[in-house]
Structure 1
């Protein structure tokens, strides 16, 4: 049997630069992120074990939870890693590592945030151990009126934050006991989903139909989405309908756009602006990604399935590029916000500039293919307009990107592929009126930017 490659070649980097990438290339990006997550969790568990904290029940419970997590990973690594590799585990783990560093938790409110994050280790460990079919008993805590078990579900508990809850687990079943309340029994069905007749139990909603199941996660307390509670049933149904209708549109948008859904772990519905993530704000909705939450897309409710499909196409480019730059250095530029990007009102650092070019190139291709595939005249016209705008935006700044002396050899391969793909997208051209309007749109954006930043040049 031929051994699969374990490193990216120039051919792989060029394919990614063209917003493509084979299944094996995408698998390499995912494997790199999984390795990074395991290293992060190892740092976290070591920090829990060695933290210079006052001995007490909280510290002892954290060490117990760390032991439970390690036992789950040793007993059934593939099952436990459903939780360890879950997208929203990443931002939480990074915060915990920060809290456990010497001198951390000194700002107002940090102590409460740190305690909450470290307590969540119990929920994560219990979820991993349940996936691994371990029998155990542990203590968990209530936050925001519920006890959340990532990827399994959540139990409503109308009790103050920090209230202790006891979880007892056996093969295929869980018992959750809260003070003053009845015990909730949760069972695992043959598909692996966890259900209960108890009306307090909230089941995560799963979106089906793509290359893998995707969670519509309105339960995990990841603190990225500023949610005050789970979605109403009608809201979940609306998201499911949008997802169902978006899948064929991503297929029309090209094989690469459909294949990239294999990277998607969850969609986190927004009820307010996301925190700590890169945000793409459009006229109708906003979306975002976080480098530490590989596979997660945060999004407000899009008005149409086409908007959802375009948002996913956009955000998954950011996920791909973040994963690529964790494996390969593409440039040596710093963080100074020196670059004009026609899709943003603020000056951008080089890395953000590169991300924007890459995402808008993918959108230009998506909308072009969609315009060629759609029968409805109004929808087709909208797609051509979106393609023309994205293509013109990339066209305006591509010379700056290609002329940068900060690109590494691998970065040059990547950017040359971007340029080649941009050139391919000139044919077939959109209707002439769309090109004229797109050019005027970009020039207006340039003029406004120079007025707002008079001491800068359009770099």
Structure 2
């Protein structure tokens, strides 16, 4: 499995091992959250909140008896992970009196239980709480309520019809659709768009722009993704069109790319475009942000890509991070040295060994993907795009591989992985890019190295 993953591949059986481990950890996390609430002092989890948690848990158990698969899909929704971790930290952290964020977080379990029961087709009536003008049902959508207020909403579900009472404007009715989505004609309801199933085996995947836990509260950093953002109807249609068109491009990039997308991807989270890119960036020169969150296994966060080809490449790129992070939770790949000291030509700042390994791994996968697209391209434009992207990514990986190969911090398993990465790098040399594309890529990496050394000194390779 390590050798297979080291080649940036992964058959269904191999990926299933990673998925099962991540799913087990999620269920343990949810159980740990309930146990921590029971053990917490009343200043953290008052008796009223604890009673509500137990009622919500009972609804989850009843829903699981009705339809275990539907409930597990809700509990394993990627954005449930950041919420559960945040609540657990609030319950067991050093602060004596946690802020209102913990109370709002614990209230969210009611929405999670309701969403699971809706997907399981279980009739129920329960009370939910909207905070800051929003009541979100994970992976289904959200109700807009009065802004900057806390609103109690009574939710009733019968025969595929959800009725929400208590918000300004009167009751709201929403209906479960055949694809599992929850739709309403009421403008207060913000649905999660299920991206259409794209053969073979891709989708439907939710484009989740409503979940309050989709943003990274630690901040984007100077080079990372910006905050998640809601999208309007034209942009949703663009996402759906790009998603459908990306499937054949992933297939061209190799059958393993379709397999890993179908196995690992559980939702897409739209991000705001980078500064200066405009509200809806399109065209080959459009800038883009993308990323993953380790606590949100299965989520890919991205601003709208320039083209379907760039969406396919984004999925390849980010799912390598998903894959490698899941592998690293099963087996240590290196000693945990957080010192940022390595040159990475895709970043202007020094990187620790783990980040260098992650970035090199992803760039090797993208290089192989673009190479296959270039070799199969039917037009000069597509062929040039493929070769240009392939050459750049492969040369960037080439600049980072020596530091990985020479690192004494790799474990035995990490060494196996890196050796396979080196082998796949050399194997791509059997089909070299045109000389002009190679020269430009080499010049780009060389310039990046010079600038990096001027800023940070002669560290790294």
Give TM-score, length-normalised by structure 1.
Answer: 0.89
Q: For residues 25 and 405 of structure 1, do their structure 2 counterparts lie closer, same or farther at Cα, with a shift above 3 Å needed?
A: same
Alignment-derived partner of residue 249 in structure 1: 249
Partner of 1:343: 346
1:67-111 Cα offsets, whole Å, 9 max, x none, are 3334434553322111110111111111111111143376xxx61
Counterpart Cα distance in 2 of 1:314 and 1:229: 21
The equivalent residue for 1:90 is 81
* Displacement of 1:227: 6.0
Q: Distance in 2 between matches of 1:179 and 1:187?
A: 18
Residues 385 and 229 of structure 1: is their aligned pair in 2 closer, same or farther, counting only changes over 3 Å?
Answer: closer
Aligned-partner Cα distance in 1 for 2:134–2:228: 11
Match of 2:207 among 216, 220, 223: 216
The Cα of 1:151 is off from its aligned counterpart by: 1.8
Aligned to 2:236: 236
Contact 1:188 1:194 in 2 (8 A): yes
Contact residue 228 and residue 269 of structure 2 kept, 8 A: no
Residues 237-293 of structure 1: CA distance to partner in whole angstroms, max 9, x if unpaired?
A: 1111111222221121111222211111111001267xxxxxxxx971010001111
Matches within 5 A, 1:110-259: 111-208=99-196, 209=198, 210-224=201-215, 230-259=230-259
Residue in 1 aligned with 2:38?
Answer: 49
Q: Matched residue pairs, number?
A: 437
Q: Secondary structure at the match of 2:99?
A: helix
- In the alignment, the residues of structure 1 paired with residue 194 and residue 455 of structure 2 have an alpha-carbon distance, to the nearest angstrom, of 44
Structure 1 residue 228: deviation in Å? 8.0
- C-alpha separation in 2, matches of 1:356 and 1:20: 16
Conserved? CA contact 1:157–1:178, under 8 Å: no
1:246-395 equivalences in 2 (<5 Å): 246-262=246-262, 263-271=264-272, 284-395=287-398
**Unaligned segments of structure 2, at least 5 residues:** 217-225, 275-284
Match among 72, 84, 88 for residue 81 of structure 1: 72
Q: TM-score, normalised by structure 2?
A: 0.89
Which residue number corresponds to residue 441 of structure 1? 444
Which of the residues 12, 28, 31 maps onto 1:23? 12
CA–CA distance in structure 2, aligned partners of residues 63 and 337 of structure 1: 44
Once the two structures are overlaid, the 10-residue window that deviates more, 327-336 or 140-149, is 140-149
Structure 1 residues 375-398: Cα deviation after superposition (integer angstroms, max 9, x where no partner): 221221121111111111111221
Displacement of 1:65 in angstroms is 2.4
Q: Any runs of at least 4 consecutive aligned residues in structure 1 with deviations exceeding 4 A, and if so which?
A: 225-229
Q: Which runs of 5+ in 1 are unaligned?
A: 1-11, 274-281
- Residue 221 of structure 2 corresponds to which residue in structure 1? none
Counterpart of 2:95 in structure 1 is: 104
> RMSD between aligned alpha carbons?
2.2
The match for 1:39 is 28
Give the aligned partner of residue 220 of structure 2: none
Distance 1:330 1:285 in 2: 30
Deviation at 1:404, TM superposition (A): 1.4
| Residues 358 and 144 of structure 1, relative CA distance in 2, 3 Å threshold | same
- Change in 2 beyond 3 A, CA 1:212/1:125: same
Alpha-carbon distance, 1:358 to partner: 0.2
Q: Residue 49 of structure 1 contacts residue 63 of structure 1 at CA under 8 Å; is this kept in 2? A: no
Greater shift, 394-403 or 52-61, is seen at 52-61
Conservation of the 8 A alpha-carbon contact between 2:229 and 2:271: no
Aligned partner of residue 175 in structure 1, secondary structure: strand
**Structure 2 Cα separation of the partners of residues 203 and 269 of structure 1:** 14
**1:100 partner SS:** helix
Task: Give the Cα–Cα distance (whole angstroms) in 2 for the partners of residues 179 and 392 of structure 1.
Answer: 56
Query: Could you list the per-position Cα deviations for residues 23-46 of structure 1 after superposition, in whole angstroms to 9, with x for gaps in the alignment?
Result: 111111111110111111111111
